[in-house]
Every structure is written in C-alpha cells, then in structure tokens.
C-alpha cells in the first residue's frame, strides 16, 4: 500500500490505511491526494521576512563602509536576496478539518474498486472454470494411458532380451520382476489421486466466492507439484505430452489467480 499525501496531511496516513485494510485483503493499492484551492483563490500567498531583509541591508551598508565603496542599496536588490520573499501555501487544511473529506473520498474510491473487482472476478472465475475442465481432461488422459504403458514396457523389455539372447529361452520370472520394478518407479496413481482432490478443492473454493486469491494460489502450487512429479516419472510419450500440457494450463491458472483478491 503506497500513500502520497501533502505534508499538511501526512498525519492522516495511518487512519487512511485502516480504512483501506478494512475493505481489501489482497493486492497493491496506491493513493495520491492533491490539495486544490477553493474557487477564486490562488492557493498560495506571498510573505516577506522583514528581519532578514533588514540584515541584508545592514550588511550591505557595513561592507560598503569597510571597503570604501558607497552606493545606493535599492529595494529591488533587497527583495532579490535568498529567503526574503517566500511563496507559501495559503490556508492549508489541518488534519482534523481534512479527515472527513479524505475519508469520504477514499471510501468512494474503494466502492468503485470493489465493484470493478467483483465484475472482473466473475469473468476470471469463468475462465478458471474452463481451465480446470481442460486440466481434468489431461489428468484423464494420463490415467487412461498408465495401464497400457506398463504393457508396452513389458513388450519392449521382451524384444530387448530377444535381441540379446536370440533363440535362447526367456526367463519369464525375470521379465515380470523387471517390469514390476519399473512399474513401481513410474507409478503415478497417488499423484493422480491428489491432483483430482486438489482440483475438486479448487472448484469448491472458486464457487464459494469472496477473498479466494490466497487459498487458490496455494492450491496452484500443489497442482504444479503433482504434475512435476508425474512428468519426472513419465516413461511414455503421451503421458509426457499430457504432463507438459497440464503444466501450461496450471501456469495460465496461476496468472489468473494473481488478479483475484
């Protein structure tokens, strides 16, 4: 949260912060306040430091006498000396008189922001629902592909052994053992189960409405973790492609969630 207030109103920043924090839970807010003069007023006034002007005049005369140089010291010369003439804000409001106006202005700005966020939130929610549907489709693809991946792995292993042994007999037990070890290392059923659970929770939080940005952001991280694990275990082209597509969808979801409160 960033405030830019005139110096005269700097003491109101904490009060204004509390007003904003009571309405918003997430996001960056920048509030800038400018003071405008009343109609017909310039908003500034000129003042003269007469004591400083007298000092300049006395010093000029003293210096002239000391060095033997005499001349007329004009009023224009005195007025041009630094600090003699000052331009100041006229009738700057006090914090007490300014707070009702500032509080009302901040509240009205927040009303507009909340209404705008609500409208944007509906659009974002619809987009997120579409992305979760696409993500479920990729999860379904991986889940359907896993059993056949085990069968293909067994076939490749048999072909490799035949290429090495030729017509020699193949130890079926050895093949099944190797396939079992491989299947255990590449088993993604737990990750798929957790993925589906996270997706259900994501949809539930999204439907609930309100300030859902933080919980959805957390679920995005969990979804990404499970998909990364699946991608690292994948020993099948289609599973790898589905995992890559899922990661792309999750990244799009993450970008949209950043715009939710």
Q: What is the CATH number of domain 113-146+188-257?
A: 1.20.120
**Residue 37: its pLDDT value, please?**
63
Q: What pLDDT is recorded for position 166?
A: 65
Q: Give the residue with greater pLDDT, 173 vs 239.
A: 239
> What stretches of 166-233 show up as alpha helix (H) in DSSP?
172-185, 189-208, 213-233
Please state, in angstroms and rounded to a whole number, the distance separating the CA atoms of residues 106 and 110: 6
pLDDT tens sequence across 27-68: 788 888 887 766 555 556 788 999 999 999 999 988 888 888
For residue 34, the model assigns a pLDDT of 80
Note the pLDDT tens digit of each residue in 188-212.
888 999 999 999 999 999 888 777 8
Exposed (0-12), middle (13-18) or buried (19+): which is 154, by Cβ within 10 Å?
A: middle
The CA angle 31-256-243, to the nearest 5 degrees, is: 150
- The string of pLDDT tens digits covering residues 66-125 is 888 888 888 898 899 998 998 766 666 788 888 998 999 999 998 888 888 888 888 888
What proportions of the chain, in percent to the nearest 5, are helix, strand and coil?
70, 5, 20
**Three-class DSSP category at 3:** strand
What pTM value is reported for the model?
A: 0.57
Residue with the larger pLDDT of the pair 243 and 173: 243
* Mean pLDDT of all residues in 234-254: 91
Q: So what's the pLDDT on residue 247?
A: 95
Q: What is the mean pLDDT of residues 135-149?
A: 89
pLDDT confidence of 241, banded at 50, 70, 90?
very high
Is residue 253 predicted with pLDDT exceeding 70? yes
Cα–Cα nearest to 9, from 124, 109, 97: 97
Provide the pLDDT for residue 139: 94
Q: Which residues have a Cβ under 8 Å from the Cβ of 178 and sit 6 or more positions away?
A: 157
Q: Looking at residue 114, what is its pLDDT?
A: 82
**3-state DSSP assignment of residue 36:** coil
pLDDT value at residue 195:
94
pLDDT of residue 169: 67
Domain boundaries, the chain: 1-35, 46-88, 113-146+188-257
């Amino acid at each position: 949260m960033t405030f830019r207030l005139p110096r005269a109103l700097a003491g109101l920043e904490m009060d204004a912060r509390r007003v904003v924090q009571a309405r918003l839970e997430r996001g960056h807010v920048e509030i800038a306040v400018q003071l405008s003069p009343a109609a017909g007023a310039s908003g500034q006034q000129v003042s003269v430091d007469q004591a400083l002007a007298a000092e300049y005049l006395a010093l000029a005369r003293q210096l002239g006498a000391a060095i033997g140089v005499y001349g007329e010291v004009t009023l224009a010369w005195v007025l041009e000396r630094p600090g003699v003439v000052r331009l100041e804000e006229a009738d700057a409001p006090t914090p007490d008189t300014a707070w009702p106006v500032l509080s009302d202005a901040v509240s009205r700005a927040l009303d507009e922001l909340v209404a705008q966020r609500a409208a944007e939130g509906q659009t974002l929610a619809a987009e997120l629902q579409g992305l979760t549907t696409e993500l479920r489709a990729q999860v379904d693809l991986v889940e359907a592909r896993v059993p056949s991946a085990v069968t293909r792995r067994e076939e490749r292993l048999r072909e490799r052994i035949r290429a090495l042994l030729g017509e020699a007999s193949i130890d079926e037990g050895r093949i099944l053992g190797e396939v079992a070890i491989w299947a255990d290392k590449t088993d993604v059923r737990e990750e798929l189960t957790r993925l589906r659970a996270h997706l259900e929770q994501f949809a539930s939080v999204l439907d609930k409405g309100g300030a859902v940005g933080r919980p959805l952001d957390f679920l995005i991280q969990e979804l990404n973790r499970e998909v990364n694990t699946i991608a690292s275990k994948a020993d099948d082209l289609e599973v790898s492609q589905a995992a890559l597509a899922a990661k792309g969808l999750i990244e799009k979801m993450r970008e949209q969630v950043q715009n939710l409160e």
